[in-house]
Amino acid sequence: MKTIFILISRGSIVRNILRSDAFRILKEQPKLRIVILVLTRETQSVPEYFKKEFFHPRVIIEEFRGIPFKFPIGKIRRRFFTPLITNLVFTHLKYLSRYGSPKNKKDPYLIYLLKTLFFGPLSRSVIVKRFFRFLENKLFLDREYEPYFDKYQPDLVFSPHVLGVAEQAMVKVANRRGVMTVSMPKGWDNVERMFYRVKSNKLIVYNKLLKQKAIKHQDFSVKDVFVSGFAQFDSYFKKELILPREEYFERLGLDSRRRLLFFGSAGLWSPNDEKMVEILSQWVTKEKFVFSCNLLIRPHFTNIFEKKYEKFRGLPHIYIDNQYRKSEFFIDNWDLSKDDIVHLINTLYHSDLVITFASTLTLDAAILDKPIINPGFWGWIDRNGKDQTAIRYQVPYYQDIIKRNGVWLAKDIGDFREAINSYLKNPNLHSQGRGLLREDMCDKQDGRAGERIANYLLSLLK
């Protein structure tokens, strides 16, 4: 009997791994025991619905706590060493230093220049990266998780959140004990976001482009990076999940004869987008488009509890799509049920176009060849009152999308309205670019990414 650890810390990872074919296939192996280690906070325990859904005779659900940063070593580590080592991939962090973000204040220009002069050359040195990883492993042993290894004697540790602090500590213990380790970025923007302090034996990524970046930035060899595709996109290829248009619209209380505009907020990354929703709702209710439309507003999970769009509820032809399962247990505030996943699939399938800021929803829409508008305004207004929304599209990972010409980056309100009307009249506009997004960013489009992840993990256990 082999044993595998699966580390879970977010609702998005539950969706991507546990509610995909990856977990189903692993669970079906008669000689495999699965230990799901769920990151919990001091005052919480794993929800009962979670235990019930993933119950199986060969599945164990175990809680683990985050790593405490004890004084003084922990403080030194958090304040000095960790910022130093993470900046050894200086692409996304260079962008943040120069421009900031809705969540991060930009550095003074002199600090930005000094960081660039210091980390620019260091980030290109493999020797420096390996040296700092060596220091990470020797100075900070993170022994808190060793009892789990003593108890279960795992043969493989799978971490689907490569940047997670607790996950990296768990991988560190496994590496020290000679246990096979496999990591995976929780999102497609995590490969060049920062340097991985702890390197696993193997890395699973979503596409070939990310494989190249993992080799370049994270010091992985070609043979140690496996391309799986997006497991969370597998369900888009299951036609049996699609509801008839009339039934779907009836569930929402909307008119199926009208076109459907899907507005997906980016949450904390588009904190000022209510103005965008307000103008859209006005245009819809006053019939300002070439075709009559409905507007579906989907709040982002990062600020779902703010209820910032409730003032639009009850307006004609407007639907607030916030009925998915929220979670105060997981740090990302959500845990989509299987029904929630099917609902999102149907929402995208029946939408005529998708409006979102720099988010993964762009790729969801591209999978179904839906026209995509990325507004370059009214998403993020900085503390000085300056609209900084367009800067969000300059972040390195999103430039991979912009360069493929599969989205309409609307520069102002006039361009935005023109984009909507143009796509309503001609949904095939930019279809070739969306094809490139599917091919380059989503990789294999066969609904079998979860299967590939499971089979790859099983191959490492032989």
Question: At which residue do the structure tokens 């990076």 appear?
Answer: 225
In DSSP terms, which residues pair with 180 in a beta bridge?
156
Q: For residue 319, what is the enclosing H or E element?
A: strand 318-320
Quickly list DSSP for 87-123.
TTS-SHHHHHHHH--SSSPPPPHHHHHHHHHHHHHHT
pTM to 2 decimal places: 0.95
Nearest to 330 by CA among 2, 15, 1, 4: 15
As given in the structure block, the two tokens for residue 145 are 């998780």
CA distance 12 to 161: 10
The beta-strand segments (E) located in 197-292 are 202-205, 225-227, 259-264
Rounded Cα–Cα distance for residues 266 and 381 (Å) = 14
- Cα–Cα distance for residue pair 90/115, rounded to 1 Å: 9
User: Helix, strand or coil for residue 84?
Assistant: helix
- Residue range(s) in the chain whose domain bears CATH number 3.40.50.2000: 2-67+142-233+447-461, 239-441
Distances (CA, A) of 365 to 48, 49, 224, 332, 359: 33, 30, 30, 22, 11
Q: CATH number for the 239-441 domain, one of 3.40.50.2000, 2.60.120.460, 3.40.640.10, 3.40.50.2300?
A: 3.40.50.2000
Residues of the chain with pLDDT under 70: 69-73
Tell me the CB-side half-sphere exposure of residue 216, using CA atoms within 13 A: 12
Amino acid sitting at position 78: R
Helix (H) or strand (E) holding 38: strand 32-39
CB half-sphere exposure, 167, CA atoms < 13 A:
26
pLDDT at 306 (0 to 100): 86
Per-residue pLDDT, 49: 95
pLDDT digits 0-9 by tens, 326-353: 888 998 888 999 999 999 999 999 999 9
Could you tell me what percent of the chain has a pLDDT over 70? 98
DSSP states of 113-181: HHHHHHHHHHTT-HHHHHHHHHHHHHH---GGGHHHHHHH--SEEEES-TT-HHHHHHHHHHHHHT-EE
Distance, first Cα to last Cα, the chain: 11
Q: How far is CA 145 from CA 39, 255, 395, in A?
A: 12, 54, 35
Own/partner pairs, 309-317, CB within 8 angstroms, 24+ separation: 309/265, 309/274, 309/277, 312/277, 312/278, 312/281, 315/281, 315/285, 316/284, 316/285, 317/254, 317/255, 317/258, 317/284, 317/285, 317/292, 317/293
Q: What is the CATH number of domain 2-67+142-233+447-461?
A: 3.40.50.2000
